[in-house]
């Protein structure tokens, strides 16, 4: 922190923090609405994610806050167990994450198949779209994704209701403003987020025409939004339903956070992520969110990428964005109350659609054959048809099928040594599967920077798509930093076309 303040990076971090704040504000409120809780709950999570997690995070440029990936499971918790159950669940989930980080299991979350993760996010995207579609009409989402899907035609047929039609129009203004700005914005304003433009435009339309649409409800004081745990906290923590849900949230939040951190590392050449420290920092954040009765948090790629693109250099940017959220909510709550609910729904509909990355499924099919693409599709379908945890477990179960042909030779040997010609050789032999990804990743990251690398794959019999993706990202990162990576024997592996 002192380094950030005393060095020459303060101005860049300061500017980036404002950009991230402008991106985060509408998303924090919108994700809270999608989760079935008041908008201020999302803002509290954004403040904790910025100020507290930003201070201790193992990924300095990653931004933490409420995530669309957990909106669906939080909505189910609130519907089935009530809002009061969310605090104890998050306290326990946070403790699990802190312990997991201390036990140094952060690297194992990276071993989850990309097909499972992207399938999970795609399923969440579908659920967000079909749920927030109803909020576009100033209506409430139903209890399940399938019920929301079946009810969608009825909402369109009900447009004869004047208030519903006005709310829908406000939502369309938001979507049009958001997408339109992203297409036509001048280079000088490229950092102004489309989501903010869409919300401001819709809010002005609703205000100027005095439209009778539902608006955001915000308490007079941010402290009024904090709900401390009740007297029966210990009993709730021992409740089997609370324990099961806490494990699910800890697992999903950790996987999303660490995969996001890996993506952030690919965007810059600065300090690499310490996955175990990041995991523990997220645990502290979720524990505090549970104490405050707020939403769960993860590291979030949209806000993190905005942070990197805006030129952030240290964790100061992330911390300051949390300070700006706190200041805005404390000083200007009346302004938040003018935002139409349909405007937030419009942002989330676009966000949900973008989570459904069909291009990633095509990439998996083209590079690695039908099985990873089937895992992606099955995870998506089960998340929508059943629930988030079921979808993830089905995806992980199907990804195990990749191991069957190689079950007798799953061991991976990794040998590395400097060579006399100023090069460093890394030789792999055996089978590189997701089971060996933490070991392989740690070894590759320990290769000295600045040296040419020879990656010897002559004795590598098999590599699955999870390891292949990680290896490709590592090679691309070194090459983009100006370092040479030579491959030997990669032609023998059909699914490693680097």
Statement to judge: residues 141 and 238 lie in one domain: yes
Q: Residue 497 falls within a domain, yes or no? A: no
CA distance 131 to 166: 19
Q: What pLDDT sits at residue 190?
A: 83
Statement to judge: residues 127 and 213 lie in one domain: yes
The residue behind tokens 């179960």 is 397
Instruction: In the chain, count H helices and then E strands.
Output: 23, 6
Check if the beta carbon of residue 322 is closer than 8 Å to that of residue 43.
Answer: no
Q: What pLDDT sits at residue 495?
A: 57
Statement to judge: residues 238 and 272 lie in one domain: yes
Statement to judge: residues 241 and 301 lie in one domain: yes
Give the count of domains, the chain.
3
Statement to judge: residues 122 and 181 lie in one domain: yes
Q: What pLDDT sits at residue 203?
A: 96
**SS3 of 267, please?**
coil
Check if the beta carbon of residue 291 is closer than 8 Å to that of residue 116.
Answer: no
In 367-437, the DSSP E strands lie at: 412-418, 423-432
Statement to judge: residues 71 and 191 lie in one domain: yes
Q: Residue 351 falls within a domain, yes or no? A: no
CA distance 85 to 78: 8
Statement to judge: residues 164 and 285 lie in one domain: yes
Statement to judge: residues 416 and 401 lie in one domain: no
Q: Residue 210 falls within a domain, yes or no? A: yes
Q: What is the dihedral of CA 230, 233, 239, 241, to 10 degrees?
A: 60
Q: What pLDDT sits at residue 290?
A: 96
What is the extent of the structural domain holding 388? 359-406
Encoded tokens for 21: 């704040």
Statement to judge: residues 294 and 252 lie in one domain: yes
Which of the listed residues 341, 368, 390 is the one where a domain comes to its end? 341
Query: How open is the CA angle 97-103-104, to the nearest 5 degrees?
Result: 90
How many other CB atoms are there within 10 angstroms of residue 467's CB atom? 25
By the 10 Å C-beta count (0-12 exposed, 13-18 middle, 19+ buried), 8 is classed as exposed
Nearest to 76 by CA among 66, 86, 67: 86
CA distance 289 to 294: 5
Statement to judge: residues 91 and 169 lie in one domain: yes
In 390-451, the DSSP E strands lie at: 412-418, 423-432
Q: Residue 485 falls within a domain, yes or no? A: yes
CA distance 344 to 31: 8
List the strands of the sheet with 423-432, edge to edge: 412-418, 423-432, 452-463, 485-488
Statement to judge: residues 387 and 253 lie in one domain: no
For CA atoms 301, 307, 309, 313, the dihedral sign is negative
Check if the beta carbon of residue 110 is closer than 8 Å to that of residue 441.
Answer: yes
Statement to judge: residues 207 and 325 lie in one domain: yes
Encoded tokens for 451: 């040296």
Q: Residue 348 falls within a domain, yes or no? A: no
Q: Residue 275 falls within a domain, yes or no? A: yes
At 106, phi and psi to the nearest 5?
-60, -40
CA distance 384 to 122: 9
CA distance 74 to 68: 10
CA distance 120 to 38: 25
Check if the beta carbon of residue 97 is closer than 8 Å to that of residue 286.
Answer: yes
Check if the beta carbon of residue 127 is closer than 8 Å to that of residue 145.
Answer: yes
- pLDDT means per 10 residues, the chain with 498 residues, are 60 90 89 91 96 95 91 90 93 97 86 86 89 93 86 87 94 96 90 90 96 90 86 89 93 87 79 91 97 95 86 93 93 91 92 88 90 94 86 90 81 83 86 89 84 88 88 84 82 58
Q: What pLDDT sits at residue 419?
A: 74
């Amino acid at each position: 922190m002192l380094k950030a303040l005393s060095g020459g990076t303060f101005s860049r971090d300061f500017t980036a923090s404002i950009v991230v704040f402008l991106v985060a504000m509408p998303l924090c409120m919108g994700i809270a609405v999608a989760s079935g809780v008041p908008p201020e709950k999302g803002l509290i999570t954004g403040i904790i994610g910025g100020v507290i997690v930003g201070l201790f995070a193992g990924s300095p440029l990653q931004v933490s806050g409420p995530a669309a990936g957990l909106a669906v499971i939080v909505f189910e918790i609130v519907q089935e167990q009530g809002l009061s159950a969310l605090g104890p669940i998050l306290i326990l989930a946070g403790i699990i994450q802190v312990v997991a980080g201390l036990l140094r299991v952060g690297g194992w979350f990276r071993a989850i198949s990309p097909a499972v993760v992207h399938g999970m996010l795609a399923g969440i995207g579908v659920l967000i779209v079909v749920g927030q579609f109803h909020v576009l009409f100033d209506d409430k989402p139903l209890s399940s994704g399938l019920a929301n899907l079946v009810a969608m035609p009825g909402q369109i047929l009900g447009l004869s209701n004047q208030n519903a039609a006005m709310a829908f129009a406000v939502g369309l203004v938001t979507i049009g403003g958001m997408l339109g700005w992203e297409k036509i914005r001048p280079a000088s304003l490229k950092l102004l987020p489309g989501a903010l433009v869409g919300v401001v435009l819709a809010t002005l339309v609703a205000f100027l025409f005095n439209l009778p649409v539902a608006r955001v409800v915000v308490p007079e004081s941010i402290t009024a939004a904090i709900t401390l745990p009740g007297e029966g906290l210990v009993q709730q923590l021992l409740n089997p339903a609370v324990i099961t849900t806490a494990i699910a949230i800890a697992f999903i939040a950790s996987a999303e956070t660490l995969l996001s951190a890996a993506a952030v590392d690919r965007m810059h050449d600065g300090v690499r992520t310490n996955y175990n420290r990041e995991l523990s920092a997220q645990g502290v954040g979720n524990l505090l969110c549970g104490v405050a009765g707020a939403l769960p948090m993860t590291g979030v790629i949209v806000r993190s990428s905005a942070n990197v693109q805006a030129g952030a250099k240290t964790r100061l940017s992330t911390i300051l964005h949390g300070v700006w959220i706190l200041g805005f909510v404390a000083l200007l709550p009346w302004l938040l109350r003018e935002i139409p609910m349909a405007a937030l729904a419009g942002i989330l509909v676009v966000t949900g659609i973008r989570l459904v990355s069909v291009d990633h499924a095509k990439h998996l099919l083209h590079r690695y054959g039908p099985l990873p693409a089937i895992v992606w599709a099955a995870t998506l379908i089960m998340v929508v048809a059943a629930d988030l945890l079921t979808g993830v477990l089905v995806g992980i179960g199907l990804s195990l099928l990749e191991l069957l042909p190689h079950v007798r030779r799953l061991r991976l040997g990794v040998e590395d040594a400097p060579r006399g010609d100023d090069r460093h050789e890394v030789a792999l032999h055996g089978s590189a599967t997701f089971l060996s990804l933490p070991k392989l990743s740690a070894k590759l990251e320990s290769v000295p920077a600045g040296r040419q690398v020879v990656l010897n794959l002559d004795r590598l019999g098999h590599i699955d798509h999870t390891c292949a993706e990680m290896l490709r990202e590592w090679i691309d990162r070194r090459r983009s930093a100006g370092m040479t990576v030579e491959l030997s024997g990669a032609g023998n592996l059909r699914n490693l076309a680097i």
